[in-house]
Amino acid sequence: MSDIREVLDLEAVDADIFRGRAVPSKHKRTFGGQVAAQALVAATKTVSADKQVHSLHGYFIRGGKSAEPTVFLVDRLRDGRSFATRQVRAVQNGETIFSMQASFHIPDDVGPEHADRMRDVPAPEEVVDERALPRPGTRALLDDWVDWDVRVIDPAYYEKNPYTASQQMVWFRSTKALPDDDTFHVCTLAYMSDMTLLYSSLVPHPEHKVQMASLDHAMWFLRPFRADEWLLYDQISPSAAGGRGLTHGRIFNRDGDLVAVVIQEGLTRTLDPDK
């Protein structure tokens, strides 16, 4: 797996056109978080420095090929005084594999403030690194994520929400120090946000073999954070039906500040043993 700096280092091909390099992977298909993060980088390169991304909404249209570069085409939909909007298409071999809209906002607006509280969970140092656990379903993914420390908390060690069908708590961070650039950390979190989230839809169905793929992905960036410091990913799956799992994640920093919210729907189709 390439360093995240290489993943997010896009080449400017022409006005509002960028190219992301092929990233070595054990998987034939491109990791969804990589495409989303690169698309967000492309969008940020066309927005003035006085605005920061506050939300993105993306659809995974086709499976990307990890061995091939991806071209990102940016449309400047709006440039207002307080907000800017961009649309990005990720293209391989002339076909769109991912489509995203992102909105940017000036950082000094003021208004009412409140936030959810972080659940009481064990500190990350008290949780076993996922690489120490023999879980075949996530083995290949973890081998690709060598630069990330991912620790799923044993559900015996936190209080459950009795009204939630499925839940999972994960500590994660970059193991490498990252640049002192807020935009870099936001784009890195877009990459990280696709890690483990869809698996929260399978917590009640540990023996059920499924085909999995991200279908759509939305994020809201709420407060500053660093992706190379511990972040708690509080995940739930409100519903799974029709071969699709809906998931929702709240991301807190270690101080308990809510820094981002993610919603994702993914394919959770029962595997046909004859195929």
CA 268, CA 275: separation in Å to the nearest integer? 16
- Of 214, 216, 234, 235, the catalytic one is 214
Which residues, 6+ apart, have CB-to-CB distance to 101 below 8 Å? 56, 57, 58, 77, 85, 86, 87, 88
CA 245, CA 198: separation in Å to the nearest integer? 7
Kindly give the pairing relationship between strand 17-20 and strand 70-79: antiparallel
Residue 180 annotated as catalytic: no
CA 268, CA 208: separation in Å to the nearest integer? 10
CA 102, CA 259: separation in Å to the nearest integer? 17
Beta carbons within 10 angstroms of residue 4's beta carbon: 23
Report the amino acid identity of residue 92: Q
Residue 143 annotated as catalytic: no
Residue 38 annotated as catalytic: no
- Is 164 in contact with 6 (CB distance < 8 Å)? no
Give catalytic residue positions: 194, 214, 264
